[in-house]
Amino acid sequence: MWEEKLKVYDALVSKCNRFKRKGKTMPYTSANGYMFSLFNKDCEIGIRFSKETQEKYIKEFKSSIYKSYGAVMKGYVLIPDFMLENLDNVAIYLNESYDYVMSLEPK
């Protein structure tokens, strides 16, 4: 299951040409000193947004906050499995997340 879902995450990230997937045991994307997507041990994908956007997307996606290793990930939205059937659409959100972290003060 983990390997199959990791392939989905990798396929999603490969649709975005401004950044690459990082991490071996905990796959993620980062830019400007901030992580902005994460694939956790529970085979869940989370994408980071501003607080306002996070609240909007949790409602819109009928989703929830994203947790990794039991910790609530600030600003992250859990991407529901049904959304992964259209990776082109999810890639739009991933690119939006990249733009968001690039707008922050660099770490």
Q: Note the pLDDT tens digit of each residue in 61-76.
A: 999 999 998 999 999 9
pTM (two decimals): 0.97
Range 2-103: architecture per CATH: 2-Layer Sandwich (3.30)
The pLDDT tens digits for 41-62 are 999 999 999 999 999 999 999 9
Q: State which amino acid sits at residue 5.
A: K
CB 21 within 8 A of CB 94: no
Q: How far apart are CA 52 and CA 37, in angstroms?
A: 17
3-class SS of residue 31 = strand
Q: How far apart are CA 28 and CA 38, in angstroms?
A: 4
Q: State which amino acid sits at residue 4.
A: E
